[in-house]
Amino acid sequence: MAKMRILVTGGAGFIGSNLVHYLLDGAERDLGITVEKVVNLDKLTYAGNTANLEPLADDPRHVFVQGDILDSATVGTLLREHDINAVMHLAAESHVDRSIDGPEDFIQTNFVGTFRLLDAALAHHRARMAEGREDFRFLHVSTDEVFGSLTLTDPAFSETTPYAPNSPYSASKAGSDHLARAYVHTFRLPLVTTNCSNNYGPYQFPEKLIPLMVQKILRGEKLPVYGDGSNVRDWLYVEDHCRGLALALVKGEVGETYNIGGKCEMKNLDVVHTLIAAVNAEQPGLNRTPEELVTFVTDRPGHDHRYAIDCSKIERELGWSPKETFESGIRRTVRWYLDHAQWIDDIESKRYQLQRLGGV
C-alpha cells in the first residue's frame, strides 16, 4: 500500500483530527507510505469541531465531508468517488457520563453505525476485488473499556482478555468490536482492530478530565474528583496513539487485535496533582496547590476502578512503542491549551457551533 487514499470517520473529533494531521504530516516520514488523500467524514456532533482542521485548510489532500456513518448511501459514494483503499473508523459517541444519561445515541452510532460502515466497506472491497485490486484495508478503532474493570493486582488487559463492559458506552463499543471480528471471519473483510487506553493531548474536548482540569486550575476553580481519586487509568499521548493506528493499518495482520497503551498507570488524584504542577510550571507566579483546589465528589454509577493495557504485542510484532512519558506529554498538552485559549473559548461559549452554521 505505497499510495493510500484513506477514509477517516470522526476526523473532526479529538483523536480523529490528530490522526488526520499525522497521516498528512508524519506517516510518510515514519512509515514510508504516501498518503494521496484523506477523506474526512464527520457528523459534527457536539464534540466535532472544524477548527481542529484549520491548519489543513490549504492542503488539497484533505477533503472534509459533513455526514453520518449511518448514511450508507453517502459512505458508499465517498468510497467509490475517491477510490478509497483504506478506512480508519474512529467515529463514535465516547463519553461515559453521557452514555448513562442517554444510551440510545451510543447504540445507534457505535453499533448500528459501525455495521453500516462495515457493510459499505465490504461492498466496496468486493467491487475492487472484481477489478483485480486487493489493496483494501479497514482499521476498527476501539477502547480498553470493553474489557471492564481491573483490581489493583490484576494483570493488565491483553488482546485475549474476555470482554466485560460496564457502561452503555463500553457495551456499544464491545458490540462494534464483535461486528468487526464477524466481518473478518464471515466475509473476509481485511480488517484490523485496535483497543487503546485513555488519550490526552491537543484538541481534546474540554469536558474530558485533563483539559477540564487545566482550565479550572488556570481560573482557580475547584477540581471535582470522583470518589477518593483512587481510580487508575493508563494514559496515552494522542500522537503516540496515531502512530500506532497508522502502523496497525499498514502492517497489522488481518483479523488480529492490537492493544495500544501509554505504559503509564496513574491514579486520577495523581493525574490532577501532576496537572497542577505542570500549569504552575508554565505560568510562573500562579502557584496553585492541591489543598486549595481539589474537592471530592460522589462517584458516578458503574465507574470502573482500573484500566491497564498490556501493549507488548504491538511492540513485539509491529515495532511500536510510546515516545512520550506522562510528564513530557502533559507539558506539551498544557502548553498547547495555553497557546490556544481562543479554541477553548469558542467551545465553552458554543461559538464553534454557531460558526459552522454561519453565525458569529
Residue at 216 is within a domain: no
Measured on CA atoms in the order 155, 156, 159, 163, is the torsion positive or negative? positive
Catalytic residue, chosen from 22, 169, 337, 352, is: 169
Kindly give the interhelix angle for 326-339 and 341-348, rounded to the nearest 10 degrees: 70
Residue at 84 is within a domain: yes
Instruction: Encode 235-247: b = buried (16+ Cβ within 10 Å), e = exposed.
Output: bbbbbbbbbbbbb
Q: How many domains does the chain have?
A: 1
How far apart are the two ends of the chain, measured CA to CA in Å?
Answer: 43
Please write the tens of the pLDDT for every residue from 19-62.
Answer: 999 999 988 888 888 999 999 999 998 889 999 999 999 999 99
- In degrees rounded to 5, what are phi and psi of residue 26? -125, -20
pTM of the complete model: 0.93
Please write the tens of the pLDDT for every residue from 67-113.
Answer: 999 999 999 999 999 999 999 999 998 778 788 889 999 999 999 99
Cβ-based neighbour number of residue 359 at 10 Å: 9
The answer to whether residue 359 scores a pLDDT higher than 90 is no
- CATH code of 183's domain: 3.40.50.720
Residue at 282 is within a domain: no
Residues 162 and 181: their CA atoms lie apart, in Å, by 14
Decide if 169 is catalytic: yes
- Domain extent for 58: 3-204+237-263+302-325
pLDDT of residue 357: 37
pLDDT of residue 100: 87
| The three three-digit cell numbers of residue 184, written as one number | 473478518
Residue at 246 is within a domain: yes
Catalytic residue, chosen from 145, 177, 240, 265, is: 145
Identity of the residue numbered 351: R
Which range among 32-36, 242-246, 328-332 shows the weakest confidence by mean pLDDT? 32-36
Decide if 144 is catalytic: yes
Residue at 210 is within a domain: no
Residue at 89 is within a domain: yes
Residue at 103 is within a domain: yes
Catalytic residue, chosen from 144, 234, 239, 324, is: 144
pLDDT band per the 50, 70, 90 thresholds, residue 351: low
Annotate 146-211 with DSSP letters as a single string.
GG----TTSPPB-TTPPP---SHHHHHHHHHHHHHHHHHHHH---EEEEEE-EEESTT--TTSHHH
Residue at 113 is within a domain: yes
